Amino acid sequence: MRKLSTLAIFLSVIIIGCQSPETTTETDVVVENPNAAIREQAQRMFGTLPAIADNPNNELTDAKIKLGHMLYFDKVLSKGQTQSCNTCHNLSTYGVDNLPTSPGDNGTLGTRNSPTVFNAGLHFKQFWDGREPDVEAQAGGPVLNPIEMGMPDEAQVVERLSKIDQYKTLFAEAFPGEEPAITYDNMKKAIGAFERKLITPSPFDQFLAGDDKAMSEQAIKGMDTFIKVGCTTCHMGNVLGGNMMQKFGLFADYWTLTNSKVIDNGLYELTKNESDKYIFKVPGLRNIEKTGPYFHDGSVAKLSDAVVIMAKTELNKDLTPEEVNDIVAFLNALTGEAPADLIKDPFVNAE
């Protein structure tokens, strides 16, 4: 009996072991994510958008950001008290005024388009000609520019701020231990600290983080086209630009395609070096859907037209209508949101 039982057990083990897996379990079908490859490529090219644009030389404290917020919206910084930073870089309209060029304190128009302040703290230089290294340095320029805010000199700016009790308190809190706390340099640091918080995460970032539904199929296709046609030669990194200077018109004169009324020599106006003619900072493309009109002179109203012009002038390529529409769909997915508490005018309904 024991021999028969042992034999029966042995045979049952063999039978069970020889059964096909398909007869005992359901087959697991692994479906490859069609977006995996393009996402991985995009992650390498664009990286990750940080929560703030940090600056080791300008610590971002709550007190400094609060002061910068006030200063950004305060018209006291302009000669006739008609202009604030927010006048040309309106935070309720994605950091721009949507004008080709902007009127200054006395109504005179500037010569270049006002770029968005959103995500500007992540750019490697400021202004279209890259004349300043960071947003702190940039913040002091328009205040003293005779066409923009028109204040005659730093001393008069400090004098005006020093007469306001609220600023006496806010500067002291933002720059503890400094005497005097109200200085032109500290004004720039405060505004710069505030601007470094104006970061706008978008559906594009959600897609890069793994959310396949964050962008439409057309936007994903447009991102692939954007990369393949060569736009990423200049528009790379976490703000899709803002990290190099480049000639506008590598293959064609830009003004023949933009119908620009005035030929702007770009960086040449500062250096007088012939090789710097028509060199401008490559703009970041975040929120580009909302920040027209486009280019340094605001000469092009439609984003689709700007895409066509860039492809021709910088890549010597004629895009098909389908390619243009797909790229525009991708660019629209770069529209994000800034922190709601920061874009509010602190002087509205203030007690």
Distance in angstroms (rounded) separating the CA atoms of residues 202 and 128: 24
Number of neighbours of residue 350 by Cβ within 10 angstroms:
8
Distance in angstroms (rounded) separating the CA atoms of residues 114 and 141: 13
Assign 337 to helix, strand or coil: coil
Q: Is 179 a catalytic residue?
A: no
| Cα separation values, 236 from 15, 45, 226, Å | 61, 6, 11
Task: Return the structure tokens found at 232.
Answer: 């990423």
User: Which uninterrupted H or E stretch holds 175?
Assistant: none
Question: Looking at 59, 132, 136, 148, which residue is catalytic?
Answer: 148
| Cα separation values, 18 from 13, 14, 84, 117, Å | 9, 6, 81, 69
Long-range contacts of 299-303 (CB under 8 A, 24+ apart): 299/100, 299/258, 299/259, 299/260, 299/261, 300/258, 303/328, 303/331
Contact 63, 169 (CB under 8 A): no
- Positions marked active-site: 148
